[in-house]
Structure 1
C-alpha cells in the first residue's frame, strides 16, 4: 500500500492525457485557472509530470513549460516551472543561473541526507531575515523527495519553533503561497489534502464543479476509497451523501 507520507501517488494506471487536457483548458483564453494548475502539477511525481508534458505536446502541439512561462509570472511561475524540470536538469539550471550571477547566494545541497542543513536554509531564508528568499523555498520544496522533506519539516519545527506551514503563510502570498502549502500538505498526507479539496468544493451554497470533477477523476483509480474516510472525518458525513 502507498506510504502515508508520500507526496504523490505513483500508479500503473496513470494516464497523462486528462491532466494535459486540464492544463490546456486552464491556460486557454483570457485569464488563467491557477488553482487547476496547482491541483494537477503538485500532485504528480516528477516522472508523471514529464509524461504530462509529452501528452500536452502530442495533443496540442505546444510545449507545456513554454505555455506555463507565458501564462504565469513572478515566483509562482518559478515554482511551477521548477516542478516541471527533471531533477538533474533542475540542478544544471540552478548551477548555470548561479554562475551567471542571477542569484547572489545560490546554494545547492546535493547531499539529500542533510535535512538539517535544508531546514537551516529555509529558516535563514524566511524567519531570520526581513523579507523572504522565496527562491530557496522553491528550490528545496521542488527538488527534495517526500521522505527527505518530512525530516526537513521536523528539523524546521525545532529550529523555528513553528511549523513550515505557518512560516509559508506569514512569508508568502497568493498563488505562490497556495502552491507551496499544497506541496507541504501532500507531503504530509496526500489523502487529507484531497479530502479537504473535495469538502471545500462541496460546502456552501454552490458547488465548485471543476475542482470536484478534477479530484474525483484524478484519484478514482489511485486512492479515492482511502480519501473517503478522511473526508468523513473532516465533513462529519460520507462523501456519497454530499455528492448525491
Structure 2
C-alpha cells in the first residue's frame, strides 16, 4: 500500500502545481532556498513527489531531478535526489507479497530482523566509526516505511544509548542535518512537528509570519485540530492565545 511505502505521511490536501512552483522559485535566481525545498519534498509521499516532478516539467519545461542536481551539492543533494526516486526494491517486494496471496496487514507488519539490521547499519555508519557514512542514513530514512522506521529508531536507541535525533545532530551538519531531522520528526509525529514549527514562529522577538501563514493555511483543512493539543503541550499555552 502507499501508506506502507512512504517514510512520511504526505499531504492529504495535495496539489502538485503549487508545490512545483514553490520548488521553481526556490531554485530561481541567485542562491537557493534550501528550507523551501526541505519543506516541500520531505512532507510528501513518494507518489506525490512523482506528481510534483510531472507538474514541474509541464509548467517549466525542465526535469526536476536535473534541476535539483544543478542547484544543490554534497550530501544534501544526495538526500533530496534520493527522495525523488521511486523505491524500486520496495515496489518489487510489494508485488511479490501481493502474488503470494494472503499476508499480514502492511501498515502493521514490521520485519523485526530487517529493522534490527537497519538499526545496526545506522549505528555502524555513525556512532561506531570516525566520520559518518551519511549515504547509509539517507538510504534507510528515504526508502523505509514509517511503521518500519519506528521500530528501527527503537532498536537504534538500544544499540547507541541515545536517540536517532541526537546521533544525527552530533554526526551531521547543515541542510543534510535539517532534512534528516525533519524526516525523523514527521515519521514519529507529524502533528508534533507542525506544532513545533508554529511555536518557533511565534516565540521570541517578532513573529515569523511566513512560517505561521504557511503552516496554518496548509494544515487548516487537514489536521490543525490535532496540531493544537501538541502545540499546548510544547508551549504551555493554546495556539489561539499566542496568535491573538
Structures share fold, TM-score greater than 0.5: yes
RMSD in angstroms over aligned alpha carbons?
7.4
What's the TM-score once normalised by structure 2's chain length? 0.84
| Mean CA deviation greater in 96-105 or 139-148 | 96-105
Instruction: Answer whether contact 1:109 1:118 (CA < 8 A) is retained.
Output: no
> How far 1:51 moved relative to its partner?
1.2
Count of residue pairs the alignment pairs up:
244
Per mean C-alpha deviation after superposition, the further-off stretch among 23-32 and 162-171 is 23-32
SS at match of 1:55: helix
Task: Find the residue that maps to 1:95 and give its secondary structure.
Answer: helix
How far is the alpha carbon of 1:208 from its aligned partner? 2.0
Query: Which sits farther off after the overlay, 171-180 or 47-56?
Result: 47-56
* Post-superposition CA distance 1:84-103 (Å, at most 9, x none): 11111899999999999999
Distance 1:94 1:223, change over 3 A: closer
The answer (yes or no) to whether the contact 2:110–2:148 under 8 Å persists in 1 is no
Please report how far the alpha carbon of residue 13 of structure 1 lies from its aligned counterpart in structure 2 after TM superposition. Answer: 3.5
**Cα 1:11/1:184, change in 2 over 3 Å:** closer
Give the Cα separation in 1 of the matches to 2:169 and 2:183: 13
Q: Is the 8 A contact 1:20 1:55 kept in 2?
A: yes
> Quick check: 59-68 or 181-190, which moved more?
59-68
Is contact 2:41–2:83 with CA below 8 Å preserved after alignment? Answer: yes
| Worse-superposed segment, 124-133 or 211-220 | 211-220
Q: For residues 6 and 213 of structure 1, do their structure 2 counterparts lie closer, same or farther at Cα, with a shift above 3 Å needed?
A: farther
Matches of 2:31 and 2:102, distance apart in 1: 29
Deviation at 1:56, TM superposition (A): 1.6
What is the TM-score with the length of structure 1 in the denominator? 0.84
Unaligned 5+ residue runs, structure 1?
Answer: none
- The answer (yes or no) to whether the contact 2:107–2:147 under 8 Å persists in 1 is no
> Cα offset for 1:241?
3.2
Deviation at 1:60, TM superposition (A): 2.0
Q: Distance in 1 between matches of 2:5 and 2:197?
A: 18
Q: Which runs of 5+ in 2 are unaligned?
A: none
Which digits, 9 at most, give the CA deviation of each residue in 1:166-200, with x for residues without a partner?
A: 11111000110010011011110011001111111
Q: Shift of the alpha carbon at 1:229?
A: 1.5
